[in-house]
Amino acid sequence: MKGKPMRFQSTRNLTRRFAAIAFIALLAGCSSTSKEALSQPAVIDDHGLLRIPDQSPLRSRLQVQTVELRVLPHTLTAPAMVEADPARTANILPPLAGKVIALKVGLGDTVHRGQLLAVITSGDFAQAVSDASKARDALDLAKKSLDRAQGVQQAGGAAVKDLQAAQSSYTQALDEYQRAQTRLAAVGGTGDSSKHAAGAGINVLAPMDGSITALSIAVGTYVNDVTASMMTIVNLDSVWVTADVAEDDLALLKPGEPADVSLSAYPGSVLHGRIGSVSSVLQPDTRRGMVRIVIANADGRLKANMFATATFAAAQPAQVFVPESALLMNNDSTTVLVEVSPWTFQRRTVQLGEDEGTGTRVLSGLRQGDRIVVKGGVLLND
C-alpha cells in the first residue's frame, strides 16, 4: 500500500517536467520570431530605390497622394499710396502778368466748372481789349466800303479795280479782327471786346469741378511769372492707388485686371478696382515698378497720400501643386519621394514656384498622375 502512492507521485512529476520543457521550447520559438522581426530593416535602399518591407512600421506612418493639376491665380501684395489722377488735376496759371484785385476762393474750398476764382488787372489785358476794339471798328468800316463799292458797281459807275480793292480791305480787316478776338480770349477775355469795360480785369475761371488743394496768391499780390501756379484744383471723384511692385512680378500684371485695396485708415474695408496702367520704367532706387489702380471715390473717403496695401490675383496656367509636408531639403536642392511601384519610392528633384498657402507650385520635376509621399517622408530622408 505504501509503494503505489510513490509510483503515482513519480508519474506526476515526470508529466510536469515534460510540460515545462514544452513551454520553454515555445518561448524559445517566440523569442526567435521576435528577434527575426526586430532584425528586419524598416527601409531597404536598393540602388536609389527605397523599398518598404511588409513588416516595416513605416507603412503605417507614410501617406501617399496622387499629384493633380490646379488652376489658381497667384496672389501678389504690394505697398501702395493714394494719389490724385493727373488727368483730374489742374494747376491754374495767370494768363498775363498783373495784380490780384479779387480772390473768390480759399484753400480747401470746393469749386465747380466755370466758377469765378480770381480777378487780375493787367496792362497787357487792357491792350488786348483795345486791339480787339480797334479791329472791330476797322472791320465795320471795311464792310461799309465794300457795300458801297458793290452798290456803285451794280449801278455801273465804279471800276472793277475799286471793288477789288474794297474786297481786299474787308478781307484783311476780318482776319485782323479774328486774330484780335482770339488773342483776347486766350488771355482770359470773353472773345467779345464790347463786353469789357475800360480797365476791366481778367476773370480767372475754374476749368473743372474739384477742390482747392494749393493756393499761392492773395488780394493785392502781383503775379509776374505766368509759368507759376496760382492755385491747384484736384478732382478726387476717381483716384489712383499706386502700388510699388517688384520687377519680377510686373510681367504678371496687365491693365484691366481686377485689384483689391485695403487702407490703414479704414481697417476691415476692402475696395475693388482695376489696373489702369503698369509702368514701363522702374524706380532706380527701389527697382520696383508703379502699378496704378483706378478706384471710384464719389464719397470722398480716399484722400491723397493715404497709405494702402494692394492685392492682385495674377492669372496663372494649370500647374502641379504639392503640400509643404511633401518637400524634403537635400543640400541645395528640394526633392520629393515618388512611388514607382507599391511601397517603392524614388527621390526626385523639383523646381518650385510660389507658395500659395494651400500648396506650393511645382514648375518642373513632377507631372499630373505621379504619386508622392505627402506625410512621413522625412523618415526616409536620411
State whether residue 144 is helix, strand or coil.
helix
Let me know if 46 is exposed, middle or buried by CB neighbors in 10 A (0-12, 13-18, 19+): exposed
- The Cα-based distances of 192 to 17, 129, 131, 133, 186 in angstroms read 139, 9, 11, 9, 12
Domain ranges of the chain: 46-72+318-380, 77-87+234-314, 123-200
Spell out where 37-167 has E strands: 44-46, 49-51, 63-66, 69-70, 74-84, 89-92, 98-103, 110-111, 116-121
Mean pLDDT for each 10-residue chunk of the chain (382 residues)? 41 44 44 51 88 90 92 91 94 92 94 94 85 90 88 74 86 91 80 56 91 95 93 95 93 93 93 94 92 93 94 90 91 92 94 87 93 92 72
Residue 105: count of CB within 10 angstroms of its CB:
20
Q: Tell me 195's DSSP state.
A: G
Q: Is 187 helix (H, G, I), strand (E, B) or coil?
A: coil
Evaluate whether 223 touches 230 at the Cβ level (below 8 Å).
Answer: yes
Place of cell 508622392: 372
CATH class of 123-200: mainly alpha
Quote the pLDDT of residue 279.
Answer: 92
d(Cα 335, Cα 258) in Å, to the nearest integer? Answer: 35
- Cβ–Cβ under 8 Å, residues 275 and 255: yes
Distance CA 148, CA 88 (A): 54
Residue 149: the pLDDT is 83
**Rama region for 47: left / alpha / beta (φ>0; ψ in -120 to 50; rest):** left
DSSP 70-82: E--PEEEEEEEEE
Please tell me the predicted confidence (pLDDT) of residue 190: 66
Q: Write down how long the chain is.
A: 382
CA–chain centroid gap for 197, Å, is 54
Report pLDDT for 199.
Answer: 55
Who contacts 93 (Cβ-Cβ below 8 Å, separation ≥6)? 226, 227, 228, 229, 230
Does the domain formed by 46-72+318-380 have CATH 2.40.420.20?
yes
| Interatomic CA distance for residues 41 and 61, integer angstroms | 15
Indicate the CATH number of 77-87+234-314 among 2.60.40.1080, 3.30.360.10, 3.40.50.10420, 2.40.30.170.
2.40.30.170
- Pull the grid cell for residue 296: 471710384
Cα–Cα distance, 290 to 243 (Å, whole number):
6
